[in-house]
Homo-oligomer: A and B are copies of this chain.
Amino acid sequence: MRTLYQYMLCPFSRKVRLVMGEKRLDFDVEQERFWERRDDFMAMNPAGQVPVFVDLNGTVVADSYAICEYLEEAYPERLLLGHGVAHRAEVRRLTAWFDDKFAREVSLPLVFEKTLRRFMRDSGPTNSQAIRQAKAAVNYHLDYISWLIDRRRWLAGDELSLADLAAAAHLSVIDYLGDAPWDKHEVAKDWYMRMKSRPSFRPLLQDRLGGLAPSEHYQLLDF
Contacts and interface: CB of A to CB of B under 8 A. Distances in A.
A61 interface: yes
Interface string A86-99: 10111011011100
Contact of A96 (B63, B93, B97, B144): B63
Nearest to A72: B85
A66 B74 CA distance: 20
Interface of A: 46-47, 49, 59, 61-63, 65-67, 69-70, 73-74, 85-86, 88-90, 92-93, 95-97, 100-101, 144
A204 to B, nearest CB: 23
Given A65-B96, A69-B69, A70-B92, 6 more contacts: A47-B97, A63-B100, A65-B95, A66-B96, A69-B92, A73-B85
Copies of this chain held together in the complex: 2
Contacts of A90: 66
The 10 closest A-B pairs by CB, nearest first: A66-B92, A63-B96, A70-B89, A66-B93, A61-B89, A73-B85, A63-B93, A74-B85, A66-B89, A59-B86
B73 A92 contact: no
B47 A69 contact: no
A62 B144 CA distance: 16
By secondary structure, the A interface counts as helix
Most chain B CB within a 10 A radius of its CB, from A73, A92, A101, A144: A92
Contacts of A93: 61-63, 66
A86 B59 CA distance: 7
A92 B65 contact: yes
A63 B85 contact: no
A63 B88 contact: no
A70 B97 contact: no
Contacts of A144: 46
A100 B108 CA distance: 13
Contact of A69 (B62, B70, B89, B100): B89
